[in-house]
Structure 1
Amino acid sequence: MGTPLTIAIDGPSGSGKSTVARAVATRLGLGYLDTGAMYRALTWSCLERGVDLTDRAAVAQAARDLPLAMGTDPAAPSVTVDGTDVGAAIRTTAVSSAVSAVATNLEVRPVLQRLQRQLIEDVAARAGGVVAEGRDITTVVAPDARVRVLLTASEEARLRRRSAELHGSADAAAVEATRDQVVRRDRDDSTVSAFTRAADGVALVDTSELGLEESIAAVLDVVAQRTAASG
């Protein structure tokens, strides 16, 4: 077996990175890791336990103590906290509205980033490779990944996609109801993470005018190019 293939995908909310990353992992037969779900799981746990999200030290300790298990099959990824499946719970509005307070906690980020690096290594070794997506993946967590992609899209396209995902509609009312989760979350996250511009060596893929299959194909093209170039 050759060196495991690590593919790192970052991008703003609604750029399609989760859906595309899962599809790429499935088509290449690799494992999958959603690092954003780890921040959401910690947020859910803190809310459940009554931990004050403004108490940075307390939330960081909660991160160190978090009994988290990540299912890395792209066909059926899962997130479990202390034996409880929280895959649906971490996508609720309550968690989505609160997760920025956790994700921008500079005492939390190194804790989860260490865990992310370990999971990437473990999954890649077990599955022959991994597609990891989320904040800081291309620059901080896996800067040595053989393939690094920044998936982006216009604000209009991102709002339209996320509103269709959350509300089943992309009409004006649905888009406006989604605006806070997308625009505010990105604004908050951008204070601690660089995901609006591709760093050196990171391929930029703009999906504004692409459908899902076209977006997947564009990323697979980058993977083919980068793996061929690296031998």
Structure 2
Amino acid sequence: MTHVFTIAIDGPAGAGKGTLARRLADHYRLNLLDTGLTYRAVAHALLRLGLPLDNVSAAETAARQVDLAKLDRSVLSAHAVGEAASKVAVFPSVRRVLVEKQREFAKAPPGAVLDGRDIGTVVCPDADIKLYVTASAEVRAERRDERDMGRADSPLKPAADAHLLDTSEMAIEAAFLAARAIIDDVLAKRNKA
């Protein structure tokens, strides 16, 4: 059986992890999942149905029905959806359902790049590569990370074995090349083993 290769990318908003995740998925021909969109999809379903965002059972049902292969970034990127997502993401039962779906996505051949806040620590603790992408507060113009770092369930923090990638002074091409160097090094060591 061929090994499924998983790259976990975590970090705060505005550090460039989404762009980096897309570039790496294209380069290594892996599936791509922005896990933040999964929470936005749940929120979008509740908004579309006119259901209250504090209705845990409706949020759980919506989470079970989310199709990770059909997440529409253009629809889910709306500001109102993002605000609603931060309200449903606090429910542990919704997080459990979505984390399970995210894990299943990661296991599908040939593998995946998952971009989020708790990929290396919670979703895919056994990922082949863990990158924690960060940047200075000044560089991250939109400052919405305090809520995630302070969250009791799956707070934003680097995995103990994550490679730290500070993009404060890097253009996307430099960040992409730095990430590739880390990944290629791990792949080369694995191929020797």
By the TM > 0.5 criterion, same fold?
A: yes
Deviations 1:93-123 (A, max 9, x none): 111222111122212100000011111112x
Counterpart CA distance in 2 for 1:33 and 1:217 is 20
Counterpart CA distance in 2 for 1:110 and 1:54 is 17
Residue identity matched to 2:174: E
User: Does the 8 A contact of 2:35 with 2:116 survive in 1?
Assistant: yes
The Cα of 1:67 is off from its aligned counterpart by 4.3
Counterpart CA distance in 1 for 2:66 and 2:179 is 33
Q: Does 1:155 align with 2:137?
A: yes
Counterpart CA distance in 2 for 1:10 and 1:69 is 19
User: Does the 8 A contact of 1:52 with 1:59 survive in 2?
Assistant: no
User: Does the 8 A contact of 2:46 with 2:58 survive in 1?
Assistant: no
In the superposition, relative to structure 1, how do residues 188 and 57 fare at CA in structure 2: closer, same or farther (>3 Å)?
A: farther
Residue identity matched to 2:50: G
* 3-state DSSP of counterpart to 1:189: helix
User: Does the 8 A contact of 2:130 with 2:159 survive in 1?
Assistant: no
* 3-state DSSP of counterpart to 2:130: strand
User: Does the 8 A contact of 2:42 with 2:66 survive in 1?
Assistant: no
Q: TM-score, normalization: structure 1? A: 0.76
Match of 2:154 in 1: 193
User: Does the 8 A contact of 2:122 with 2:154 survive in 1?
Assistant: no
Deviations 1:37-81 (A, max 9, x none): 1111111111111221122233123212x242425xxxxxxx1xx
Residue identity matched to 1:42: V
Q: Which runs of 5+ in 2 are unaligned?
A: none
Which aligned segments of 4 or more residues in structure 1 are displaced greater than 4 angstroms? Answer: none
The Cα of 1:230 is off from its aligned counterpart by 3.4
Residue identity matched to 1:193: S
Counterpart CA distance in 2 for 1:206 and 1:193 is 22
Q: Does 1:47 align with 2:47?
A: yes
Q: TM-score, normalization: structure 2? A: 0.90
Q: Which runs of 5+ in 1 are unaligned?
A: 72-78, 80-85, 160-181
Counterpart CA distance in 2 for 1:194 and 1:226 is 27
Match of 1:19 in 2: 19
User: Does the 8 A contact of 1:150 with 1:195 survive in 2?
Assistant: no
Deviations 1:110-169 (A, max 9, x none): 0000011111112xx1xx23111112111111110111111111111111xxxxxxxxxx
Residue identity matched to 2:67: L
* 3-state DSSP of counterpart to 1:195: coil
Q: How does 1:60-75 map to 2 (within 5 A)?
A: 60-64=60-64, 66-70=65-69
* 3-state DSSP of counterpart to 2:98: helix
Identity of aligned residues (%): 38
User: Does the 8 A contact of 1:104 with 1:188 survive in 2?
Assistant: no
Residue identity matched to 1:119: F
